[in-house]
């Protein structure tokens, strides 16, 4: 039996996309009007002013840290969970970016036996974290995801669009 794909830290809401959009659609309107979005913003400590990027990236999944065998089942379950439930990751890759980046993953596709493609939006109160995320030279050490019993290697994040508080005045 696979570990629960609905572990609380992974349960995500599509509404977070709206939250980010609502938070950024105007520099003067920084608090979302929806009670739901407001609650989410408070819960994840979303800063008043945020820098964001969206785009796609790929990740490879393995059954062990030496990355020798694809974790086909783990990759499949992670994709399925994202497509069904969406996923928000508070302090996303804090090992690389530091604390405070909030990642939202809302679509996933298998592209090969050991690789999935993810659509993301990420937001932070610190521009440097978004710079670092969008830099194709940034390396991400392999990390263990206990929910899917899989070791993941995040590949570079391809940022297609970026927003900053000042550009939205
Ligand atoms: C990024 O956001 C823009 C504006 O909402 C959208 O047109 C574009 O499709 C998004 N890109 C990705 C890869 O989701």
Decide: 162 and 134 in contact? Cβ < 8 Å: yes
Residue 60 lies in a domain: yes
State the pLDDT at residue 69. Answer: 98
What's the Cα-to-Cα distance from 23 to each of 58, 92, 119, 128, rounded to whole Å? 27, 19, 20, 19
CA-to-CA distance for 91 and 94, rounded, in angstroms?
A: 5
CB-based contact 53:131 (threshold 8 Å): no
Please tell me if the CB atom of residue 161 comes closer than 6 angstroms to any atom of ligand 1: yes
Residue 53 near ligand 1, beta carbon < 6 Å: no
**Tell me, what's the pLDDT at 107?**
98
- Domain extent, residue 70, equals 7-163
**In this predicted structure, what is the pLDDT of residue 31?**
64
In a domain, 122, yes or no: yes
Q: Domains in the chain: how many in total?
A: 1
Predicted confidence at residue 17, as pLDDT, reads 46
Q: Which residues of the chain have pLDDT under 50?
A: 1-15, 17-18, 21-29, 169
Shortest-distance Cα residue to atom 4 of ligand 1 = 161
What average pLDDT is seen over the chain?
86
Q: Which atom of ligand 1 is nearest to the CA of 54?
A: 1
Predicted TM-score (pTM) of the model is 0.81
169 domain residue, yes or no: no
Residue 2 lies in a domain: no
């Amino acid at each position: 039996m696979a570990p629960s794909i609905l572990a609380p830290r992974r349960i995500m809401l599509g509404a977070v996309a709206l939250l980010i959009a609502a938070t950024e659609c105007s520099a003067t309107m920084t608090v979302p009007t929806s009670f739901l979005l407001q609650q989410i913003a408070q819960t994840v400590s979303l800063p008043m002013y945020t820098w964001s990027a969206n785009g796609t990236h790929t990740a490879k999944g393995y059954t062990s840290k030496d990355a020798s065998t694809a974790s086909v089942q783990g990759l499949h379950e992670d994709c399925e969970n994202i497509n069904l439930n969406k996923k928000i990751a508070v302090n996303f890759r804090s090992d690389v970016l530091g604390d405070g980046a909030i990642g939202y993953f809302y679509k996933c596709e298998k592209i090969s036996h050991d690789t999935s493609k993810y659509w993301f939006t990420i937001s932070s109160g610190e521009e440097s974290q978004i710079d670092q995320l969008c830099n194709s030279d940034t390396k991400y050490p392999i990390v263990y995801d206990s929910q899917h019993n899989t070791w993941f290697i995040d590949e570079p994040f391809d940022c297609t669009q970026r927003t900053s508080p000042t550009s939205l005045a």
